[in-house]
Structure 1
């Protein structure tokens, strides 16, 4: 794989400085707010990313609601984003799914 990415489960705002220290340049969030109690708010994660100098994008969808528009929005952002990229959702499964869908549809630059 030529892309420099990591896919993970839910991150928190207090983890953002460590993510930046580990060399990530961009975060893509695939998890909508309110999926479970005590889930960090996306606005708080976005603010922490901005403070740490990281690019941040939300392509939000419930696990069973992935569609063509999500994949295209993800791919458009992914292709212009500075790597390495950290992509997250609740467990990493939907982030893996959107990344793989974009690859299969040949939407990602090499």
Structure 2
């Protein structure tokens, strides 16, 4: 499992397996978020299995699928509400972790300077520089 810490409230990961969930719980994650649609790719673990493992390990499960390459403002809104309301720390996963990082960055851009967010994402191994114009738009929309 390749967990990448963004900040104290959220970490992201590429696809996890049923067996990874117990380790995530042991590491202290309280909420597990799937941003990957079930059956997005052949051979991907079933979300129902991962959900069962989350519940078995005392974690809150959130299934919030987002289509790869099509992160909408509604997706960002839902993600932001989930982060605000979830027990932390949160572990979000998708195919590579990029989608989760995009959702986090676009939501956080509403209240935090983009350069700070780009730095955090980069430290976690994700280049979000291509999102800078959209992050600026998110910030402007909050004024």
Higher helix share: 2
**TM-score, with normalisation over the residues of structure 2?**
0.70
Moved over 2 A (4+): 1-4
Q: Which runs of 5+ in 1 are unaligned?
A: none
Query: Are 1:5 and 2:10 matched, yes or no?
Result: yes
**How many Å apart are 1:93 and its aligned residue?**
0.6
Q: Which runs of 5+ in 2 are unaligned?
A: 1-5, 113-143
Q: Of 97, 100, 105, which residue of structure 2 is paired with 1:95?
A: 100
When the two structures are aligned, how many residues end up with a matched partner? 107
SS at match of 2:58: coil
Higher RCO, 1 vs 2 (CA within 8 Å, ≥6 residues apart):
1
Please, what is the CA RMSD of the aligned residues?
1.6
The Cα offsets for residues 43-97 of structure 1, whole Å up to 9 and x where unpaired, read as: 1111110111001111111211111111111111110111111111000111100
